[in-house]
Protein backbone atom coordinates (compact mmCIF):
# COMPACT_ATOMS: atom_id res chain seq x y z
CA UNK A 1 0.00 0.00 0.00
CA UNK A 2 1.22 3.50 -0.87
CA UNK A 3 1.76 5.81 2.11
CA UNK A 4 1.26 9.51 1.54
CA UNK A 5 2.74 12.18 3.79
CA UNK A 6 -0.19 14.62 4.19
CA UNK A 7 2.09 17.59 4.95
CA UNK A 8 4.09 17.03 1.77
CA UNK A 9 0.88 16.60 -0.21
CA UNK A 10 -0.43 19.95 1.09
CA UNK A 11 2.89 21.59 0.24
CA UNK A 12 2.87 20.16 -3.29
CA UNK A 13 -0.73 21.22 -3.95
CA UNK A 14 -0.98 24.58 -2.17
CA UNK A 15 2.49 26.14 -2.46
CA UNK A 16 2.42 26.66 -6.26
CA UNK A 17 -0.95 28.41 -5.93
CA UNK A 18 0.13 30.42 -2.88
CA UNK A 19 3.19 31.75 -4.70
CA UNK A 20 0.78 33.37 -7.16
CA UNK A 21 -1.85 34.39 -4.60
CA UNK A 22 -0.46 34.89 -1.07
CA UNK A 23 -3.91 34.48 0.48
CA UNK A 24 -3.50 30.73 -0.02
CA UNK A 25 -0.77 30.70 2.64
CA UNK A 26 -3.62 30.96 5.17
CA UNK A 27 -5.19 27.81 3.74
CA UNK A 28 -1.80 26.09 3.85
CA UNK A 29 -1.38 27.07 7.51
CA UNK A 30 -4.90 25.93 8.43
CA UNK A 31 -4.48 22.55 6.76
CA UNK A 32 -1.14 21.96 8.49
CA UNK A 33 -2.75 22.85 11.85
CA UNK A 34 -5.52 20.32 11.23
CA UNK A 35 -3.05 17.57 10.40
CA UNK A 36 -0.49 18.28 13.10
CA UNK A 37 -3.03 19.03 15.85
CA UNK A 38 -0.43 21.08 17.65
CA UNK A 39 -1.15 24.78 17.30
CA UNK A 40 2.01 25.89 19.12
CA UNK A 41 4.20 23.79 16.82
CA UNK A 42 2.26 24.92 13.74
CA UNK A 43 2.60 28.58 14.77
CA UNK A 44 6.35 28.15 15.22
CA UNK A 45 6.70 26.59 11.79
CA UNK A 46 4.45 29.25 10.28
CA UNK A 47 6.50 32.09 11.74
CA UNK A 48 9.69 30.54 10.39
CA UNK A 49 8.28 29.76 6.95
CA UNK A 50 5.76 32.54 6.33
CA UNK A 51 7.59 35.36 8.11
CA UNK A 52 9.96 36.14 5.23
CA UNK A 53 7.14 35.81 2.67
CA UNK A 54 4.92 38.20 4.62
CA UNK A 55 7.82 40.62 5.03
CA UNK A 56 8.52 40.50 1.30
CA UNK A 57 4.88 41.19 0.43
CA UNK A 58 4.70 44.06 2.93
CA UNK A 59 7.89 45.56 1.52
CA UNK A 60 6.42 45.43 -2.01
CA UNK A 61 3.20 47.13 -0.89
CA UNK A 62 5.06 49.81 1.08
CA UNK A 63 7.31 50.42 -1.93
CA UNK A 64 4.28 50.87 -4.21
CA UNK A 65 2.70 53.28 -1.75
CA UNK A 66 5.90 55.32 -1.38
CA UNK A 67 6.25 55.55 -5.17
CA UNK A 68 2.67 56.83 -5.44
CA UNK A 69 3.29 59.43 -2.74
CA UNK A 70 6.56 60.51 -4.39
CA UNK A 71 4.86 60.88 -7.78
CA UNK A 72 2.05 62.99 -6.31
CA UNK A 73 4.59 65.13 -4.46
CA UNK A 74 6.62 65.62 -7.64
CA UNK A 75 3.54 66.55 -9.72
CA UNK A 76 2.45 69.04 -7.07
CA UNK A 77 5.87 70.71 -6.98
CA UNK A 78 6.13 70.75 -10.77
CA UNK A 79 2.95 72.88 -10.83
CA UNK A 80 4.22 75.32 -8.20
> How much of the chain is helix, strand and coil, in % rounded to 5?
85, 0, 15
DSSP tag of 21: -
What is the rounded end-to-end Cα distance, in angstroms, of the chain?
Answer: 76
32 φ, ψ (degrees, to nearest 5):
-65, -40
| Residue 54: per-residue pLDDT | 74
Dump pLDDT digits (tens) for 9-43.
999 999 899 888 878 888 888 888 888 888 788 77
Q: Give pLDDT, residue 13.
A: 93
26 against 8, higher pLDDT: 8
pTM of the model: 0.55
50 touches 29 (CB < 8 A): yes
Contacts of 11 (CB under 8 A, 6+ apart): 28
Q: What is the pLDDT of residues 44-63, one digit of tens each?
A: 877 787 777 777 877 888 88
Amino acid sequence: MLKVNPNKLIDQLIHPIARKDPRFWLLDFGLHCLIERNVRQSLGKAAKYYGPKIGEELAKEIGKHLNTVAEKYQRHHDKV
